Chains A and B, each alone.
Chain A
Amino acid sequence: MRSNVGEQFSRVPATDADRAVEGRPTRNEVLSFWEDRYGIPPGVFEAHRFWEKGSGKLWAFSGDAPEGTEVEALGITFLRVRQEHWKPTTDAVQRFGRHATQNVITVDAETARRFIAGEDQPVDWDGEWGYLIVAHELADVREPIGVGLYLHGELRSQIPKGRQRSV
């Protein structure tokens, strides 16, 4: 088996049988994750291939690139798979989260403002702890903002520093 090479992008294999690097997730596992946790059907990602650079961070890319290419980025960062609980990125949630049907918390205007500013705050949520898609109403439609970690009755904003804003 090959090992992960830090600067190169490698395609995420379709299934276990195609796996060339130990421990790398497969496309099927990634699709199941989005479907099982957020109810996003696999068809939403039909145009996208998943790529890995270094280990633990997946990218979603809809164009063509050669295996092993050494570039700065391919598409958008998408999913962190290093830790036991996989964590979607803000960009993935903003790009694909409209299709989610579960583990989405739709918050009011004030909570949304505090969330995008990076604040943690108490919320009512009767599900288990874990990463939620945080959304609000904008121009009358539900729009995902980013990822929140729900833990001990609190919603912890996972918006990266560079994306925090005072709206």
Chain B
Amino acid sequence: MILERYRGLIDSFDAFRDACDRPLPSVVRVNTLKASIERVERALADGGYAYEQCSWYPELLRLSTDTPGNSWPYVHGWIYGQEEVSALPARVLSPSAGDRVLDACAAPGSKTTQLGALMDDRGTLIANDANLGRLSALRTNAQRCGVTNLIVNSADAQTLSLAPFGGEPFDHALVDVPCSCEGTIRKNPTALEDWDIDHVRGLSGIQRGILRRAIQATRAGGTVVYSTCTFAPEENEAVLDAVLETERCRIVPFETQLDTRPGVTEWEDKTYDQSVENARRIYPHLNDTGGFFCAKLEVTGE
């Protein structure tokens, strides 16, 4: 089993393995552009749905149904189905109303719509993705959520041009890269069936390219958040380590109420820059979520 390779990284490995075998609760995020938490709770209760608020993020509600898509709050764009832990990176990025923000790998838009709400639909939000089919799902989702400050763009994020957006650098960028998705095993039990080390290495190269370009496109003093839903250090700390060498940035700590573990500085025969410990690893058994990795980078002057 692929996950065995992480035994040395994870304390209470058995609890980790058990959690990976359990299905995930269904979670929705309240879209505050269209409705308040109270109003959504009221409509859910009227519709006969039971829910429970996530303590670290009041807009996240754990639902008693697996088909929230067939509810009125969904139809009106008041809620968006989003895995609990995947709400972390936009929270860490924490853009303000009026900012210029890039979402480099945006489809199908769970974090885009969350960023739009955090920005209160003001400023300019750019949602980019290389896959046109997935972008069309993003467009539908963003429209349903009423995000009107959004530019949807289709390009390889490794070579993204700023020209379609007026040429100005971004204040912040979210880099939620394509990855081997090991952490989605609870949602998708076959996620590891095609796991292959060459594929992981290939992804690692693309991830570096995307993160590098996002840092270059962000102004000094701006923030870049890097995230994956995988455990592989090749796609996490190794990517950060490589980018630290060539780009003007540093990895900074961030606060979260979620239970997390620091990034690892050693893996197989590699060692990484000490500051990757500021990144956070989230294992499924820690908060009863999917698996996740998140790092906050500050873009420096040089």
Q: Is A1 an interface residue when CB atoms closer than 8 A count as contact?
A: no
Q: Give per-residue flags for B164-179: 1 if the beta carbon is below 8 A from chain A beta carbons, else 0.
A: 1111000000000000
Q: Is B181 an interface residue when CB atoms closer than 8 A count as contact?
A: no
CA–CA, A54 to B299, complex, Å? 39
User: Given the interface contacts A63-B125, A71-B153, does A138 sit within 8 Å of B148 by beta carbon?
Assistant: no
CB proximity of A36 to chain B, nearest CB, Å: 22
Check A167–B70 contact: CB distance below 8 A: yes
Q: Is B159 an interface residue when CB atoms closer than 8 A count as contact?
A: no
Check B76–A145 contact: CB distance below 8 A: yes
Check B149–A61 contact: CB distance below 8 A: yes
Check B121–A73 contact: CB distance below 8 A: no
CB proximity of A142 to chain B, nearest CB, Å: 12
Measured CB to CB, the nearest residue on chain A to B150 is A75
Stretch of B87-95, B135-143, B239-247, B262-270 on the interface side: B135-143
Check A72–B135 contact: CB distance below 8 A: yes
Total interface residues on A, CB under 8 Å, equals 33
Check B151–A63 contact: CB distance below 8 A: yes
Measured CB to CB, the nearest residue on chain B to A47 is B122
CA–CA, A71 to B166, complex, Å? 12
Most buried by A among B46, B163, B164: B164
User: Given the interface contacts A63-B149, A167-B75, does A140 sit within 8 Å of B42 by beta carbon?
Assistant: yes
Residues of B within 8 A of A48 (CB): 148
Q: Is A29 an interface residue when CB atoms closer than 8 A count as contact?
A: no
Check B39–A141 contact: CB distance below 8 A: yes
Q: B149's contact among A72, A75, A138, by CB below 8 Å, is which?
A: A75
Check B146–A116 contact: CB distance below 8 A: no
Extra pairs beyond A72-B135, A73-B139 (8, CB < 8 Å): A62-B122, A63-B150, A72-B152, A72-B153, A76-B142, A95-B148, A139-B46, A167-B70
Task: Report, nearest first, the 7 A-B pairs whose CB atoms are least far apart.
Answer: A63-B124, A73-B152, A139-B42, A95-B146, A72-B152, A63-B149, A75-B148
Query: What are 28 of the A-B contact pairs (CB < 8 Å)?
Result: A61-B148, A61-B149, A62-B121, A62-B149, A63-B150, A64-B100, A65-B124, A65-B164, A65-B165, A69-B164, A71-B151, A71-B153, A71-B164, A72-B132, A75-B149, A75-B150, A91-B144, A91-B146, A95-B146, A95-B148, A116-B75, A138-B43, A140-B42, A141-B39, A145-B75, A145-B76, A167-B70, A167-B75
